[in-house]
Structure 1
Amino acid sequence: MEFSERLKKLRKQAQLTQVDVAEKLGISQPAYASWERGVKKPTQENLVKIAKLFNVSVDTLVSNDKTDDIGLSEVELLFRTTSNGMSNEEKKVFKQELLQFMEERKKLFDDKN
Structure 2
Amino acid sequence: MEFAERLKTLRKQVKLTQTQIAEKLDISQQAYASWERGAKKPTQENLVKIAQVLNVSVDYLVGNSEEKSDELDNIELLFRMNSKGLTEEEKKVFKRELIEFMEERKKLFDEK
- Counterpart-to-counterpart distance in 1, 2:5 and 2:63: 12
Unaligned runs of 5+ in 1: 66-79, 91-113
Report what 2:38 is aligned to.
Answer: 38
Structure 2 equivalent of residue 108 of structure 1: none
Residue 21 of structure 1 aligns with an amino acid whose one-letter code is I
CA distance, structure 2, for counterparts of residue 32 and residue 6 of structure 1 = 13
TM-score (norm 1): 0.60
Q: Secondary structure at the match of 1:83?
A: helix
Aligned length: 77
* 1:27-69 Cα shifts (integer Å, max 9, x gaps): 000000000000000000000000000111000011258xxxx
**Structure 1 vs Structure 2 CA RMSD:** 2.5
Separation (CA, whole Å) in 2 of partners of 1:83 and 1:20: 31
Gaps of 5+ in 2: 66-76, 89-112
Structure 2 residue identity aligned to 1:13: Q
Does 2:4 match 1:7? no
Give the TM-score of the pair, scaled to structure 2: 0.60
1:7-37 per-position Cα deviation (integer Å, ceiling 9, x unaligned):
0000000000000000000000000000000
